[in-house]
């Protein structure tokens, strides 16, 4: 019975669920189901009708994080994910999966199967190029971030949205894992042994850095600027050459717009460090790193350009038209972008949740080198955030460090 109380479904339950609760498939469908989730928090099921080849995805929120049962996370995040996906689908057509159904008892949602796409982190670790990615992701970010802000939205409607997406449990995870724990010798950190001494000397002993992370944590908690995705790493992006789709917005809430942009940039840098450590052929290595560097520049600068163009087209708030205000506002977003990129580089290296781009580097010396570069750049992005504003700023810091 799926109507009285929540339980975590197994593959066989999901087939039953689809048959009794949904009308996506024909009555005589020959259904099978596989759990394909690889994330930390949820169960993702793929259901296929072998007669027609038709398929759907059901994502169910589990009661605790898979990574550690220390994290108790409200299953309400599945409602948030469903509602945000619908909002983003309208704001950024073609760039998020279609969602069909939400079930508040089972805490699951039903969405379009994107199995013809690949998870971007995996594809980049396989040295593949996606020439349209920078264009697609910047449209996604400008539309979802600027169009949900007070610049464009009716202020009362925006406040109502702020209220329905408070998301306290998932915000707490970010506040702890991103803004706090990586910057002291926290027992929950998970540091690669060759990196510990560097972390201690360059990060944990640095009071100036600690102070800046404290300021940033308070900005994250209090700056209800845009309806952000909140977890926009390359594992939340599906790609194929002609298409980009953003998934997994369960961390969404009203926060600083630059948080999303910075996460995309930091994860492209992880791909760059992975390529640097693992490609043997020098020509191929340089070619692929050049493509990633160009993509970092394009993401930053296309975001800036589209932000200003969309601002001019969609602005509703009169005072935001004052001379100098758009530049002031974008400067703030870019400063937050640099900080968020720096925080992501540090926390994925030292904190509890790593990225495969780095952990898959088998050679100990090469992995330690990649981690030192990530931490050095990460620290600079945080401390120098006032002066890291355009695409070439990111690549300059990267080249100065490697």
For 14, 271, 326, the CA distances from 11, given in Å and listed in that order, are 5, 33, 51
DSSP letter assigned to residue 6: -
Residue whose CB is less far from ligand ADP, 250 or 357: 250
Other Cβ atoms closer than 10 A to 207: 8
Q: Which of 114, 252, 333, 361 binds ligand ADP (CB under 6 A)?
A: 114
**Strands (DSSP E) along 159-291, which ranges?**
226-228, 237-240, 243-246, 253-255
Nearest to 143 by CA among 82, 109, 94: 94
- All residues at 6 or more sequence positions from 142 whose CB lies less than 8 Å from its CB, including other chains: 303, 306, 307, 310
Q: Which of 25, 29, 42, 273 binds ligand ADP (CB under 6 A)?
A: 42
Residue whose CB is less far from ligand ADP, 66 or 200: 66
249 binds Mg ion (CB under 5 A): no
Q: Which of 41, 110, 123, 355 binds ligand ADP (CB under 6 A)?
A: 41
Which helix H or strand E contains 110, and what residues bound it? Answer: strand 108-112
Number of chain positions touching Mg ion (CB under 5 A): 3
Which residue has the CB atom at the shortest distance from ligand ADP?
39
CB of 98 to ligand ADP, least distance (A): 9
Do 45 and 23 form a contact (C-beta atoms < 8 A)? Answer: no
> Count of residues for the chain?
402
358 binds ligand ADP (CB under 6 A): no
37 binds ligand ADP (CB under 6 A): yes
Q: Coil, helix or strand for 119?
A: strand
Which residue has the CB atom at the shortest distance from Mg ion?
39
Q: How far apart are CA 230 and CA 41, in angstroms?
A: 14
83 binds ligand ADP (CB under 6 A): no
Do 379 and 201 form a contact (C-beta atoms < 8 A)? Answer: no
Residue whose CB is less far from ligand ADP, 37 or 63: 37
Range in contact with ligand ADP (rule: CB under 6 A) among 25-33, 38-46, 184-192, 265-273: 38-46
End-to-end CA distance of the chain: 57
Nearest to 154 by CA among 309, 315, 330: 315
Other Cβ atoms closer than 10 A to 86: 15
Nearest to 12 by CA among 27, 26, 2: 2
| Site map 200..239 versus Mg ion, x via CB under 5 A | ----------------------------------------
Q: Which of 38, 90, 157, 400 binds ligand ADP (CB under 6 A)?
A: 38
| Site map 247..266 versus ligand ADP, x via CB under 6 A | xx-x----------------
Residue whose CB is less far from Mg ion, 248 or 336: 248
Residue whose CB is less far from Mg ion, 65 or 343: 65
115 binds, among ligand ADP, Mg ion, none (CB under 5 to 8 A by kind): ligand ADP
Range in contact with ligand ADP (rule: CB under 6 A) among 26-34, 41-49, 86-94, 342-350: 41-49
Residues making contact with Mg ion (CB under 5 A): 39, 248, 250
**Chain contacts with ligand ADP (rule: CB under 6 A):** 36-42, 44, 57, 59, 97, 111-115, 119, 235-236, 247-248, 250
């Amino acid at each position: 019975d799926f109507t009285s109380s929540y339980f975590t479904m197994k593959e066989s339950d999901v087939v039953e669920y689809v048959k009794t609760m949904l009308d996506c498939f024909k009555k005589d469908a020959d259904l099978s189901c596989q759990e394909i989730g690889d994330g930390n928090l949820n169960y993702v099921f793929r259901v296929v009708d072998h007669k027609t080849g038709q398929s759907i995805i059901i994502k169910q929120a589990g009661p605790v994080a898979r990574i550690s049962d220390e994290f108790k996370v409200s299953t309400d995040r599945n409602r948030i994910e469903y509602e945000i996906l619908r909002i983003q689908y309208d704001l950024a057509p073609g760039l998020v999966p279609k969602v069909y159904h939400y079930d508040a008892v089972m805490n699951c949602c039903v969405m379009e199967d994107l199995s013809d796409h690949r998870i971007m982190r995996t594809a980049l670790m396989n040295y593949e190029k996606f020439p349209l990615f920078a264009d697609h992701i910047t449209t996604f970010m400008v539309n979802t971030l600027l169009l949900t802000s007070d610049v464009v939205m009716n202020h009362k409607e925006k406040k109502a949205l702020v209220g329905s997406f408070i998301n306290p449990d998932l915000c707490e995870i970010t506040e702890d894992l991103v803004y706090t724990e990586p910057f002291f010798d926290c027992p929950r950190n998970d540091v690669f042994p060759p990196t510990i001494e560097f972390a201690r000397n360059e990060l944990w002993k640095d009071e100036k850095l600690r102070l800046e992370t404290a300021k940033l944590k308070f900005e994250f908690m209090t700056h209800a600027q845009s309806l952000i995705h909140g977890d926009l790493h390359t594992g939340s992006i599906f790609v194929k050459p002609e298409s980009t789709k953003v998934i997994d917005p369960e961390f969404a809430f009203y926060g600083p717009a630059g948080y999303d942009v910075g996460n995309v940039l930091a994860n492209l840098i992880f791909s760059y460090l992975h390529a640097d450590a693992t490609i043997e052929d020098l020509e191929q290595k340089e070619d692929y790193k050049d493509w990633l560097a160009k993509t970092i520049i394009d993401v930053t600068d296309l975001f800036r350009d589209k932000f200003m163009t969309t601002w001019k087209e969609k602005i509703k708030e009169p005072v935001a038209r004052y001379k100098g205000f758009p530049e002031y506002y974008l400067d703030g977003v870019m400063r937050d972008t640099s900080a968020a990129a720096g925080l992501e580089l540090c926390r994925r290296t030292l904190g509890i949740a790593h990225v495969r781009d780095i952990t898959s580097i088998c050679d100990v010396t090469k992995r330690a080198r990649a981690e030192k570069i990530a931490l050095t750049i990460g620290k600079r992005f945080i401390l120098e955030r006032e002066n890291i504003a355009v695409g070439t700023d990111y690549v300059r810091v990267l080249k100065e460090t490697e």
